[in-house]
């Protein structure tokens, strides 16, 4: 894998959990690390981010995005078909994609990867044509994403999500899941479904079989109707308990269809997306990202 370019444009989502306070320090540290910044911008209105990213891609060999998983997922579509490296600074709550790639979560460590890492080709998955980097979910996760108070999320971070998830579970019911993996149709009860390009979801390694260059997407269902079993699935995965695989069922493929009864909205890298049914497909080696150099 080739080394990373030395010229870049930095774009930080100032509305992300750590974005506003990290911008100036990130800019200065990147320059100190030997990165020539053609431009640097702190975007306070997330609605303007897409335009900033599109313009930057036409001006630099590498674009560095600072923000959380939702910010990165929204930006990634613009890199498809472009000979530009996608680099990023993990400034969000869970930072699941950084964990999947093995990028340090502290600012100095992430900048070290940009200064000394490599350009790694990775797969992207898409849901109904919307590409995403790491993980999507059906079930309790979208309910939490839609209703969690912004103050709770900003102040407590991942703990805020967990507190609100516990509160939201009281009004949540299991659902019927239908997965067509291209070979047959599978039907089961589920309390959560994870559609995975990467291994981490909510900052926890839940889908260990997912791989960014496998050419396949993984659909992992927490099967059954028990919310206690869903909670245990998270806890067992966090603790790496041997029984963690007993709570889930997995399906793999390059193209799949997922439906639910009742219809449900999907959360894509922490941001709300469309309702089921969903068409899921993987694009192998779709973009190049700034990644740690192999040992």
Rg (CA), the chain: 19
If you average pLDDT over residues 67-96, what whole number do you get?
A: 92
Between 17 and 81, name the one with better pLDDT: 81
Between 281 and 156, name the one with better pLDDT: 281
Token pair, residue 142, equals 């979208």
If you average pLDDT over residues 129-147, what whole number do you get?
A: 81
Q: Say if residues 207 and 125 touch (Cβ distance below 8 Å).
A: no
Token pair, residue 138, equals 């059906």
Residue in 233, 145, 147, 158 with CA at minimum distance from that of residue 203: 158
- What domains does the chain contain, in order, with CATH numbers? 7-122+287-291 (3.40.50.10330), 131-285 (2.60.200.40)
Checking if the pLDDT of 86 tops 80, the result is yes
Reduced to 3 states (helix: H, G, I; strand: E, B; else coil), residue 283 is: strand
In whole numbers, what is the pLDDT of the chain averaged over residues? Answer: 89
Which of the four pLDDT bands, split at 50, 70 and 90, describes residue 265?
Answer: very high
Q: What is the pLDDT of residue 159?
A: 55
Element (H, E) at 115: helix 107-116
pLDDT in tens, 2-32: 999 999 999 999 887 676 788 999 999 999 9
Q: What is the pLDDT of residue 168?
A: 59
Instruction: Write down the pTM of the prediction.
Output: 0.87
If you average pLDDT over residues 57-67, what whole number do you get?
A: 96
Q: Say if residues 219 and 209 touch (Cβ distance below 8 Å).
A: no
Checking if the pLDDT of 232 tops 90, the result is no
Residue in 86, 59, 78 with CA at minimum distance from that of residue 4: 86
């Amino acid at each position: 894998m080739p080394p990373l370019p030395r010229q870049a444009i930095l774009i930080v989502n100032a509305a992300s959990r750590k974005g506003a306070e990290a911008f100036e320090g990130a800019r200065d540290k990147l320059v100190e690390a030997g990165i020539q910044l053609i431009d640097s911008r702190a975007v306070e209105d997330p609605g303007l981010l897409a335009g900033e990213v599109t313009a930057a891609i036409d001006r630099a060999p590498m674009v560095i995005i600072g923000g959380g998983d939702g910010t990165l997922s929204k930006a990634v579509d613009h890199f498809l078909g472009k000979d530009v490296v996608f680099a990023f600074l993990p400034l969000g709550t869970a930072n699941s994609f950084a964990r999947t790639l093995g990028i340090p979560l502290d600012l100095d460590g992430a900048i070290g990867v940009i200064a000394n890492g490599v350009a790694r080709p990775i797969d992207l998955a898409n849901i109904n044509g919307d590409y995403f980097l790491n993980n999507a979910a059906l079930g309790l996760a979208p309910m939490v994403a839609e209703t969690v108070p912004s103050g709770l999320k900003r102040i407590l971070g991942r703990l805020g999500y967990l507190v609100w998830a516990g509160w939201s579970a009281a009004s949540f019911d299991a659902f019927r899941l239908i997965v067509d993996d291209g070979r047959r149709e599978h039907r089961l009860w589920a309390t959560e479904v994870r559609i995975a390009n990467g291994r981490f979801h909510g900052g926890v390694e839940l889908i260990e079989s997912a791989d960014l260059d496998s050419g396949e997407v993984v659909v992992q269902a927490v099967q059954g109707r028990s919310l206690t079993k869903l909670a245990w699935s998270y806890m067992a995965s966090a603790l790496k308990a041997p029984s963690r695989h007993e709570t889930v069922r997995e399906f793999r493929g390059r193209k799949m269809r997922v439906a639910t009864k009742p219809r449900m909205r999907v959360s894509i890298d922490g941001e709300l997306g469309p309702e089921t049914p969903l068409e899921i497909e993987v694009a192998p080696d779709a973009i190049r990202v700034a990644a740690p150099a192999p040992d």
